[in-house]
Amino acid sequence: MSETEEVEEKDNSFIKIVSRNHPIFKNRGSILYSMQNGKLNAEKLPTVPDNVIICDGCNELIKDEEVGLLMLEPNRCWGTQCKNCRVEHFSELPVVRE
């Protein structure tokens, strides 16, 4: 391949519709990593309640029984999307129901 040829990347993204009771929303905790004085610190943040699901697009609380997950690949979830954000920003993506 010459330097002038471009490689076309295939977009594998799709929206996966799951129940708000899906295991991905259970026991969600985060760890905040930081460096202090040349040492790596790990601080465990409070667990997010299972029933609190926030849209990663608009930061609104998702109250629907079904939640859209923006999947970059089959096993790689980028985040949650409410119905409005799915329509406004991701309407061209295929939708898969679990």
Written as tens digits, the pLDDT of the chain (98 aa) is 556 666 677 789 999 999 999 999 999 888 899 999 999 999 999 898 999 999 999 999 999 999 999 999 999 999 999 999 999 999 999 999 98
Q: Which two tokens stand for residue 17?
A: 């519709």
DSSP 85: H
Beta carbons of 47 and 28 less than 8 angstroms apart: yes
For the chain, give every domain's residue range.
14-97
Question: What is the pTM for the complete model shown?
Answer: 0.76
35 by Cβ neighbours in 10 Å (0-12 / 13-18 / 19+) ranks as exposed
Of 27, 32, 53, 51, nearest to 43 by C-alpha is 32
Please give the Cα distance from 31 to 42 (Å, whole number): 6
